[in-house]
Amino acid sequence: MLGLPASPAHRMLHAIGTAFLFSTTALAQPQELTPQAQPVLIEAPPSDACASCCRGSCSVSQVLRESVFGCADEWTPLCFNQLFSTGWCDAYAEPPRGPGGAPRQTWLNTFDGFLNRQVELGYGFTRDLQTVDERGDAHLGFFSIETPLNRRVSVRLDVPFVVALDSYCGCDHTDFGDITVTPKVLLYETCDTSITAGLSIRTPTGEPETGGKVGSLFPHVAAWRDLGCGWSFHGGTGIEVETDSPPNSDDRTVWVTSLAVGQTITPHCALPIGDFTYYLATNIRTDLASDCD
């Protein structure tokens, strides 16, 4: 998983109309109010489309528009027992910071156990990468975008537009990489915890010389947890099954586990490094294929 600290979602102020009821009474002798004479309070309807949309009373197109472009109602927790009943017809609402001050932000080479609205542009370096035929130092330039579709679902697109291999044999290569699409479902979310399930679909748009031309399906579960004092935990696990491999290589099945912990040490509004976070991450890949026939 690739990512950078996420940008904050835009918010809009909602105008709330209030209805006032005035009544007058005669200055003559006081009289008892009969049940028919008691005033009736009338609730004002929502003042804008977004307010009603976030209560699940608008069309699919309105939910998509408000989720993608950011006009959301107040955030509320989602529990496991609400998985099939709540959030599917509501626009995305940005969750608050954890009670310990940790934001839900993307970290490089870790799992995101939450939904996000973000755009990323980054660079990665891998020393001594082994491809199908060669070994060398790899450089990666990537573009990623994630957008929620409603309160429960988001879609992420990862595009490695430059993958370069400085081969040890002197045969350098520069290619386009494998595009990955990841739909995610939010299973559970409170102020201090988020849990998601996702399916990363890797398409073989790259070349074998730079480690590409691989198709795979990667179902996984991820979690985020506020630990207090700015500390937070990212973790996840899943099984990656190759569906399309380069020539002269076999399809592989790999169990992937990622654990990371870090601390956010600057406030969100601190310029130019708001929400600055340092963290330590470990990623374990275990090949489940047997060498025996």
Instruction: Share the mean pLDDT of the chain.
Output: 82
CB burial readout 230-258, b (16+ within 10 A) else e: bbbbbbbebebebeebbeeeeeeebebeb
Amino acid at site 237:
T
Encoding tokens for residue 155?
A: 């879609």
Backbone angles phi, psi at 51, to 5 degrees: -60, -45
Q: What is the pLDDT along the chain (293 residues), one digit of tens a residue?
A: 444 444 443 433 333 333 333 333 333 344 444 444 444 333 433 433 334 344 555 689 999 999 998 766 689 999 999 999 999 999 999 999 999 999 999 998 899 999 999 999 999 888 888 776 778 899 999 999 999 999 999 999 999 999 999 887 778 889 999 999 999 999 999 999 999 999 999 999 999 888 899 999 999 999 999 999 999 999 999 999 999 988 777 788 999 999 999 999 999 899 889 999 999 999 999 999 755 44
Would you state the pLDDT for residue 3?
42
Handedness of CA 169, 170, 176, 182 (dihedral sign): positive
Contacts for 59 with CB less than 8 Å, ≥ 6 apart? none
Would you state the pLDDT for residue 72?
65
- Tens of pLDDT, residue by residue over 227-249, are 999 999 999 999 999 999 887 77
Amino acid at site 167:
S
Place of tokens 């049940």: 35
- Tens of pLDDT, residue by residue over 98-155, are 999 999 999 988 999 999 999 999 998 888 887 767 788 999 999 999 999 999 999 9
Would you state the pLDDT for residue 257?
98
Encoding tokens for residue 254?
A: 């790999």
Nearest in space to 156 (alpha carbons), one of 111, 192, 117, 125: 117
Would you state the pLDDT for residue 290?
52
Contacts for 195 with CB less than 8 Å, ≥ 6 apart? 113, 186, 187, 188, 189, 221, 222, 223, 224
